[in-house]
Amino acid sequence: MNPPKRLRSTGDEEETPTSGKEEGGAVDVSIVMPMYNASCWLDECLQAILHQDYTGTMELSVFDDASTDDSRTVVEGWKERLEERGISVVISGHNSSQPRGVGYAKNKAVSQSCGQYLCFQDADDVMLPQRVGLQHDASVLHPHSLIGCQVQRVPEGSTERYTRWINMISQDQLLTQVYTSHGPTVVMPTWFCSRNWYLKVGPFDEGGMGVPEDLIFFYQSLRQGGGMARVDQCLLVYRYHEKATTHSVTEETIWNLRVDFLQERVLSQWESFTIWNAGKQGRKLYRSLSPTNQKKVKAFCDVDENKIQKGFYTYEDSEQRPKPKVPVLHYKDASAPFIICVKLDMTGGVLEENLNSLQLKEGTDYYHFN
C-alpha cells in the first residue's frame, strides 16, 4: 500500500501525517519527537535512532511545531534510511506564524503514533544504542511508571550539580525529592512509558511558551499513583544550550507549582513542622504557604548564629494582629519534621552531616524543597 500523499497546508492548518507504514499495524515502541528549529542537531539525533539495538518494532513520530529552518527537510532526508532499518516514520506539523509549544507538539506526535510504548526524544539530544531496549524492558516491569535513565551532559561540566543529581539520587529519592527546584526526578528528555499510562495521566498541558508541561505531567502522574524508575546506565547525551525551551519557564512559575504540590502531598499530612533555613529561601517558603500551613510552622532552624540570636522571625506583611512571630532555633534544638530549604550539594557536605547527626529519615522526618 502506498503511503498517503502529504496534504500541503495553507494558513496555519495542520497536515495529515505522512507515514510509510501500513494502516492499522501497531508497533512495540514509538519514538516521540517534537521538533522546532532543530536542524543543526538532527543528523546526530536520527543517526542514533538508526543505531538502536532494540529487536522489537519501532516507529519515529515527528511533529514539526512551525520550524522556520530546514528541520523538516532533514527529517524527510532520513526517512528512507530509517525505513530500510525497519523503523517506520510518521511526520506532520503546522506552518502558522508561531510555534504552539512543546506540550502541544508532544501530544500531536503521540496521537499520530501507534506504539504500545512511548520513548520521548528531544531533537537536540542523542540516544545511546541500548536506550530503547533497556527502557522498554524496564517499562514492561513497571507499566504505571515513568522510566528514566542516567545521562551524559554536553558541553561537559555544564549544570554539574544538576547532572550529578539526575544520575546519583537513589530509587527512594526519586519519590522523596520531587519538590526541589531541579524539577522532575526522572528528567523529561529521558522519559519512557506505556501508552496506557500516558493516556491515563495526560495529555501534556498545551499552554505554550513559559509553561513547564513536563513538571505538570510529572506531578499528575504521581497524583494518579504512578511510580518512577531509572535505568542506572547512561542512555542519553543530554544537550545544554541557550535555545532550550526550558529557559522560557520562569522560576516563579516553577516555585508556585512546587509549593502547591508540597502543601497537597506533605503538609496536609503534618500537624506542625520546622523550616530548615531562617534566611531568604526559608522565609519565602513561609510567606508562600496557605494561612493554615503558616500556622503549622512551629519554628525556623539554622546554623547561623546571627539569625538565631534574633530569636524569631516576624511576618511583617501579615494582616493578622498581632503579626505572627516564629521562633528561630539552632537546628540541634529544633524538632522534626523538617522542610529543608538549603540547596543540596552546596555546603561541602555540612548539611548532609547535620541531617545524619540527627538520625532523620528522608521522606518521613524531612523533605528537601530547594
pLDDT at 1: 40
Q: CB of 297 within 8 A of CB of 276?
A: no
pLDDT at 3: 39
DSSP-assigned letters across all residues of 315-353: -TT--SSSPPEEEEEEGGG--S-EEE-S-TT-STTHHHH
CA-CA-CA-CA torsion sign (221, 230, 370, 205): negative
pLDDT at 370: 87
Tell me the C-alpha distance between 43 and 48, whole Å: 9
Residues of the chain with pLDDT under 70: 1-13, 15, 18-24, 243-247
**CA nearest 353: which of 336, 370, 329, 331?**
331
pLDDT at 320: 87
Collapse the DSSP code of 84 into the 3-class scheme (helix H, G, I; strand E, B; otherwise coil) and give the result: helix
pLDDT at 7: 33
**CA nearest 76: which of 114, 110, 35?**
35
Strand pairing category for 58-65 and 27-35: parallel
For the whole model, what pTM was predicted? Answer: 0.92
Residue found under cell 506504539: 115
For 92-126, how does the pLDDT look when each residue is reduced to its tens digit (9 = 90+)? 999 898 999 999 999 999 999 999 999 999 999 99
pLDDT at 208: 85
